[in-house]
Amino acid sequence: MSKVYVHIGNAKAYSTSIQVLLSENISQEYQYLGFQPNQKYENWFLDKTISRFLDFDLRFSTSYNYAKRKLFYLNYFKEKYALCKTQNKDLWISSETISMRYLLEDIDISEKLDRLQSALPSNTTFLIVFRNIWASLISIYKEFIKQRYTLSFDEFCNETYYYRDCNFLFSLMPGHLLKFLEERLKNNNTIEYMFLDGEDINNIKLLSLINKFKKNNPFKNFPTANKGIDNNEIMKIMELNKTNKSSFDATGLIETHRSLWHIKNRSFINDYIFSKIKQQKYNQMKTKSYKNAKFFSVDRNNILLKYLQRKKVKDKKEYSNIKNKTDQNIELIWKNFKECLVEF
């Protein structure tokens, strides 16, 4: 019987590597719908519909505007799933920001899950990967700098705390997020998850998660994609950002090359859609290494640091109460900041 599997996040938890793995190995076993980062930009998505659904309507559209396209998406996925059934294939989908409000512009994750569940068949399995919280924060911070962010890591942590009720922080805490998602599952849908500890990406953990749902021919190697930029290069990019503040437009940190991919190839708009990523590549080309950059410092009185110390006990308690808990070590997610920095 054909099944549907959706990798829903978290962002900056090797999501690009998962997408490369799925898109490079499409076979007789499954059809893949999702971002294909290993392809040329013209082929990042199978079609404009899945691009708009995953990177625009599932992230930013208002309820009013989404309602106008809801039936269209329902029919789209119904056709894709029907084709998979006739070919005895599974259907895989990947979008790394479904499980969180990665940007303040993102809609609430409960609304994302409702839209997704209403569009897909019953008995869908959602997959989510968790990294250590501090490793995730550092990785998100680096990504924000690539998108023109200019504040220090300590200031970023303060902002993360101040906007904690409407940003990604909640989704980095597995006990809170898994309990929240479990309570909102419909149609006999289920959740599978994995805790990572920052060890070698080529280990068996992520492969075992994906291979658990493979009918035949398990994946043997896990690709390393979107490797993080080193601290020296990030520091130089941040300096360049500070000298180009005027180029920071109303879309803020939104990656327009993803969110607007579905309207590409219109000459009057392509320059706008790809302007940010072109600037990113230009900045990275211009960077010159600094030696021994001590970049990720957090003041011992940082408000986020103290907040997470308080939340740890509650999150572990929430995790102990989820229905389908597996034998995984939640302490990997809650290692303290200094322990986490050893990995970077």
- Tens-level pLDDT at each residue, the chain (344 residues): 899 999 999 999 999 999 999 999 887 899 999 999 999 989 999 999 999 999 999 999 999 999 999 999 999 999 999 999 999 999 999 999 999 999 999 999 999 999 999 999 999 999 999 999 998 999 999 999 988 888 888 889 989 999 999 999 999 999 999 999 999 999 999 999 999 876 555 567 888 889 999 878 888 888 877 777 778 888 888 888 877 755 556 567 788 888 888 877 666 577 777 777 777 777 777 665 555 555 667 777 788 988 998 999 999 999 999 988 888 899 989 987 665 554 43
Q: Residue for token digits 């000298």?
A: 243
The rounded distance, in Å, linking the Cα atoms of 89 and 105 is 35
The rounded distance, in Å, linking the Cα atoms of 16 and 268 is 30
Other beta carbons within 10 angstroms of residue 217's beta carbon come to 11
By C-alpha distance, which of 48, 68, 57 is closest to 115? 57
Burial class for 232, CB neighbours closer than 10 Å (0-12, 13-18, 19+): middle
H helices of 197-290, where? 204-211, 231-243, 256-259, 267-273, 275-286
By C-alpha distance, which of 199, 147, 140, 201 is closest to 17? 201
CA distances from 243 to 143, 172, 247, 289 (A): 18, 32, 10, 18
By C-alpha distance, which of 322, 77, 7 is closest to 181? 322
By C-alpha distance, which of 190, 188, 183 is closest to 326? 190
Residues 6+ apart with CB under 8 A from 190: 123, 124, 125, 126, 324
SS3 state at 30: strand
- Asked if 237 and 229 count as a contact pair (C-beta separation under 8 A), the reply is yes
pTM of the model: 0.86
